[in-house]
Chain A
Amino acid sequence: MNAPIRLLAACVLALAATAAVAKGTGYVFVSSENDHAVTVLDSKSWQVVKTIPTGQRPRDMRLSPDRSQLYVIASKADRIDVIDIAQLKVTHSIPVGEDPEMFDLSPDGKRLYVSNEEDAQVSVIDVATKKPVARIEVGEEPEGVRLSPDGKRVYATSEVANMVHVIDTATHKILANVVVANRPRRFAMTPDGAEVWVTSELGGKVTVLDGATSAIKATIAFTPKGFRADDVTPVGIAMSADGKTAYVTLGRANHVAVVDVASRKVQDYVLVGNRAWGASLNRDASLLFVANGLSDDISIVDTKSRKVLRSVPVGRVPHTVVIDD
């Protein structure tokens, strides 16, 4: 095969891949911490298509940039299991250090940024070689990990130090340590990376950080009807791709707050299941999926009417929902 033909073939393949991305399988993946498995649901019938066994305690999940693979953290197995979407099975694993909890993938899909809860580190792992590139010391019990859209910074929360660590992905040095409300958990980011939103479970708030300066721009409080401040324990957060609306799960308060990103005003509270944590949106943000850790189900919320369409029982202690649409 000569060079031009090879190039043409590559282009055709790339196009084919793009077409595949556009379509998606329609599957909804749910990790279940106590079942050591990922449940696959059909997005029309909401029936279980398959249960994929994984390493112990599967938690955070993310699709590869080409959406052909699903990365699943197996916390007690100290690794990420890689599920091939076409085959719906684990094809290989990547060791990622002790007690990993959450992670993010670089925009090019080449590097994994993983929080290691026991060691108080963020590990940077090369996907191709499966080897660690760097380990960055952070505050105790790091949890949420999120890359800026340009991939230049990685943000990590420390649940115990009550901090957001801002790390330079080129030097692996900490650029800033920002003290936020107590027990910070997870992130959402505006599409331009101008604002970083972080939930604080015990502080009961969302803190809005400036993506450029890391300064605190605002805090958002939640007051769902019939709940005391102590019951409001925000953990999960998802932002629509247009950056207009954020959805914050309120844990013990069993509600999801709908927040207008620009005005930072809470527009509504939607009742979901018991201890609502994980939150994920489908691509057009028409559906919100909430993992209810203590009622072993997921709530599917229609974001237009802000009503729960249905609750689907899944495995024990659902953690994260990923939609391949």
Chain B
Amino acid sequence: MRLKHLLRSTLGALAALLAAFGFAAAASAATSVRIAHLELDTDARYDETRLAFRGLAQPLGRPFAGAEVALREARFVGQAVGAEFALERVAGADAKALVASIDKLNKAGVRYFLLDAPGAVVAEVAKAVRGRELLLFNVSAPDDALRQAQCQPNLLHTLPNDAMRMDALAQYLVSRKWRNVLMLEGPRPEDRLLAEAFDRAAKRFGLKLVERRPFVLSNDPRQRDQGNVALLTAGSDYDAVFVADSDGEFARSVPYRTVRPRPVVGSEGLVAAAWSWAWERHGAPQLNSRLEKHAGRKMADPDWAAWMAVKAVVEAVVRTQNAPFATVAKYLKGEEIALDGFKGNRLGFRPWDNQLRQPVLLATHNAVIERAPIAGFLHPTNNMDTLGFDQRDSRCAF
């Protein structure tokens, strides 16, 4: 009895002491939640001349700006849970350099990394840091392979992949009953990936690829049949022309040069995008204006993806009351999280491949024509899973 009493009072005192200590810690200093943004010194996707085209579905600048806007949005909510969010920008020459930076920062306590790099670099970096106590967010590589064979348990994707975007476009074409499509395919490996993704979408949604013709960006008269849009679009009939052109330089010359008066889609005309500066619903004008004020340019897909990645970290930290990393990571990847991407739906990551499920916008140069999933394309649990790799299509094994 005496012992029991003593034990109880000792435990009580201990609890009080711990509570006091915890309180003091919370009151004295907010813990810092550091997010690192990694990018390459030189990245062809942000080449000055290429940016100057302002191609549809092309970046308009480095996505770090999007991450910065998201960090600013986190000011208030961080205070509420005693967390101070910080963002640092690190550049490296190649994948190895980026891995070295991750190693260094991870040792210094950084757990969240945004990765702005092409698919091959993302794959290499993610493989090298597999199993570490960190989360890596791919914000600019749309490669399907990163979500399939190359998937990694701690690699998440906020940018929609090619399959998602092409499915969105195919849904739109089907909804317009523009079922016969002529495909023009570029020579680069990235063009091929786009063409393959559209081919897959066409099969899924019942579009007919009338023909698949290779194009080259050249005025060489010996290659005239592959460089001249009129010649490329002559012959068979079709409802729309799909251009698979990863950098958009050829694609921009296709509209109005086709033999038949048909709409151009894919890399010009009407494109499937994560974001559009012309999107006007669900708070989009305010977000667009914040980025424009901050970066002096309009917001594009990778900006949105970087913004979304920081928002995901903030949301998970806040909802778990700034819990230890394992708890935050579990919540972030879990079914319960409801991310606000300003596209009208509750977003979260697909457990089978870590891809953020999200609506895809079908946009022209200055208007959003539709938002996919398009009405009528249904899924047994979540209509957003009609876009890209559903669980049964997944070849990802973590």
Question: Which A positions have Cβ atoms within 8 angstroms of B?
Answer: 117-118, 138-141, 158-163, 165, 177-179, 181-183, 202-204, 228-230, 233, 252
A290 to chain B, nearest CB (A): 19
Q: In this assembly, does B80 line the interface, its C-beta being within 8 Å of a C-beta of chain A?
A: yes
Query: Do A161 and B286 touch across chains, with their CB atoms under 8 A apart?
Result: no
A118-B286 CB under 8 A given contacts A179-B81, A202-B338, A203-B338: yes
Inter-chain contacts of B383 with A (CB < 8 A): 230
A106 to chain B, nearest CB (A): 25
Inter-chain contacts of A165 with B (CB < 8 A): 76
Query: Do B286 and A158 touch across chains, with their CB atoms under 8 A apart?
Result: no
Q: List 24 A-B contacts (CB under 8 A).
A: A117-B286, A118-B286, A140-B76, A141-B283, A158-B76, A159-B283, A160-B73, A162-B77, A162-B318, A163-B77, A163-B80, A177-B80, A179-B77, A179-B318, A182-B338, A182-B346, A183-B340, A202-B340, A203-B338, A228-B382, A229-B346, A230-B345, A230-B382, A233-B344
Inter-chain contacts of A118 with B (CB < 8 A): 286, 289
Closest B residue by C-beta to A229: B346
Q: Which of A140, A141, A160, A179 contacts B80 (CB 8 A)?
A: A179
Inter-chain contacts of A182 with B (CB < 8 A): 315, 338-340, 346
Query: Do A139 and B77 touch across chains, with their CB atoms under 8 A apart?
Result: yes
Inter-chain contacts of B81 with A (CB < 8 A): 179
B281 to chain A, nearest CB (A): 10
Inter-chain contacts of B344 with A (CB < 8 A): 233, 252
A141 to chain B, nearest CB (A): 5
A230-B346 CB under 8 A given contacts A177-B76, A183-B340: yes
Inter-chain contacts of B318 with A (CB < 8 A): 162, 179
Q: In this assembly, does B79 line the interface, its C-beta being within 8 Å of a C-beta of chain A?
A: yes
> In the complex, A16→B74 CA distance in Å?
52
Within 8 A of A (CB), among B11-35: none
Within 8 A of A (CB), among B380-394: 382-383
B52 to chain A, nearest CB (A): 29
> In the complex, A138→B283 CA distance in Å?
17
State the 8 A-B residue pairs at the shortest beta-carbon distance, nearest first.
Answer: A139-B76, A161-B77, A161-B76, A177-B80, A140-B73, A160-B73, A202-B340, A182-B338
Q: Size range of the interface on B?
A: 20 to 34
B82 to chain A, nearest CB (A): 12
Inter-chain contacts of A230 with B (CB < 8 A): 345-346, 382-383
Over the window 357-393 of chain B, the binary record of Cβ atoms lying under 8 Å from chain A Cβ atoms (1 yes, 0 no) is 0000000000000000000000000110000000000
> In the complex, A163→B75 CA distance in Å?
12
Inter-chain contacts of A117 with B (CB < 8 A): 286
> In the complex, A183→B79 CA distance in Å?
18
Q: In this assembly, does B395 line the interface, its C-beta being within 8 Å of a C-beta of chain A?
A: no
Query: Do A138 and B76 touch across chains, with their CB atoms under 8 A apart?
Result: yes
Q: In this assembly, does B252 line the interface, its C-beta being within 8 Å of a C-beta of chain A?
A: no
Inter-chain contacts of B79 with A (CB < 8 A): 177
B320 to chain A, nearest CB (A): 11
> In the complex, A142→B76 CA distance in Å?
12
Q: In this assembly, does B350 line the interface, its C-beta being within 8 Å of a C-beta of chain A?
A: no
> In the complex, A117→B287 CA distance in Å?
11
Within 8 A of A (CB), among B262-312: 283, 286, 289-290
> In the complex, A225→B295 CA distance in Å?
45
> In the complex, A280→B345 CA distance in Å?
26
B259 to chain A, nearest CB (A): 40
Over the window 325-343 of chain B, the binary record of Cβ atoms lying under 8 Å from chain A Cβ atoms (1 yes, 0 no) is 0000000000000111000
Inter-chain contacts of A229 with B (CB < 8 A): 346
A141-B286 CB under 8 A given contacts A177-B80, A183-B340: yes
A36 to chain B, nearest CB (A): 17
Inter-chain contacts of B73 with A (CB < 8 A): 139-140, 160-161
> In the complex, A158→B77 CA distance in Å?
10
A119 to chain B, nearest CB (A): 11
Within 8 A of A (CB), among B314-328: 315, 318-319
Query: Do B338 and A140 touch across chains, with their CB atoms under 8 A apart?
Result: no
A17 to chain B, nearest CB (A): 41
Closest A residue by C-beta to B76: A139
> In the complex, A177→B80 CA distance in Å?
6
Closest B residue by C-beta to A181: B338
Given contacts A160-B283, A163-B77, 10 further A-B contacts (CB under 8 A): A118-B286, A139-B73, A139-B77, A161-B75, A177-B80, A178-B80, A179-B80, A182-B340, A230-B382, A252-B344
Inter-chain contacts of B338 with A (CB < 8 A): 181-182, 202-203
Q: Which of A139, A179, A252 contacts B75 (CB 8 A)?
A: A139
> In the complex, A141→B76 CA distance in Å?
12
B308 to chain A, nearest CB (A): 13
Closest A residue by C-beta to B286: A141
Inter-chain contacts of B290 with A (CB < 8 A): 140
B62 to chain A, nearest CB (A): 22
Closest B residue by C-beta to A275: B281
Closest B residue by C-beta to A205: B338
> In the complex, A182→B348 CA distance in Å?
13
Closest B residue by C-beta to A159: B283
A216 to chain B, nearest CB (A): 12
A300 to chain B, nearest CB (A): 26
> In the complex, A230→B378 CA distance in Å?
13
Closest A residue by C-beta to B337: A182
> In the complex, A141→B382 CA distance in Å?
28
A22 to chain B, nearest CB (A): 41
B328 to chain A, nearest CB (A): 15
B81 to chain A, nearest CB (A): 7
